[in-house]
Structures are given as C-alpha cells and as structure tokens.
Amino acid sequence: MGIFDHYRRGDAARDRVAIEIDVAAGVLEECLVCRQIADKQRDDRLAVAELDVHQRFDHADPSVAVFNGDRDDLLRRLRTVRKRFDYHCLCHSTG
Ligand SMILES: [Zn+2]
C-alpha cells in the first residue's frame, strides 16, 4: 500500500464526516425508503452544519479527529461533498 492509497482513504473518511454532518443538519436528505442521499439545495441549512462543525472542534469531538484540527477543510467539504448527490433519490427518480 502506497502513501497515495493512505491519503485517499483518509480523504474518504473526511468526506464521510462531512456527509454525516450535512445529513444531520438537513443540508442533505437521506431517503427513508431507498436510503440514498439527495441534495435538495437546502443552502439555508448550511449555517446549521457549520455551527455543528465548530462545536465538534471546540469540544474535540472524536468524530472530527480525522481532520487533525483542520476545521477549514471540513467546512469546505460540507459544500464539496454535495456535488456527488442528485436532487432526487433513487426511488423518486425511477418512479
Ligand atoms: Zn428514495
């Protein structure tokens, strides 16, 4: 395993944290039927997600340990991870 693989694994772990916070804040929406995550363009919820990020870093929450104190990186990822999700989840786009 090269160092690049290690970097990519860490990158995926960071994205997972960002997605989890986005879902918890309502920026992203997890469908209760197909479990797929959708981006409903809830930009108004970003402030809630950002507040969550600050609180996690302020309390040294273990969930953000993978960021090594780089809260700006997590704040950026709250937005960049949204690119991979569509507006509609699986069951709503096929039904
Ligand atoms: Zn669905």
Beta strands in the chain (DSSP E): 28-30, 37-39
4 or 39, which is more confident:
39
Q: Pick from 4-8, 10-14, 59-63, 86-90 the range whose average pLDDT is largest.
A: 59-63
Give residue 51's pLDDT band: very low, low, confident or very high (50, 70, 90): very high
Q: Which residues are within 8 A (CB) of 42 and not within 5 positions of it... i.e. 6 or more apart? A: 26, 27, 28, 29
Q: Which two tokens stand for residue 83?
A: 């690119």
- Report how far residue 57's alpha carbon sits from residue 35's, in angstroms, rounded to the nearest whole number: 28
The model's pTM is 0.87
- Report how far residue 80's alpha carbon sits from residue 31's, in angstroms, rounded to the nearest whole number: 20
Tell me the domain boundaries of the chain. Answer: 3-94
- The Å distance, Cα 11 to ligand 1 centre, comes to 27
- Report how far residue 23's alpha carbon sits from residue 45's, in angstroms, rounded to the nearest whole number: 10
- The Å distance, Cα 34 to ligand 1 centre, comes to 4
Over residues 11-29, mean pLDDT: 97
Over residues 20-48, mean pLDDT: 97
4 pLDDT more than 90: no
Over residues 70-84, mean pLDDT: 97
- The Å distance, Cα 66 to ligand 1 centre, comes to 30
17 pLDDT more than 70: yes
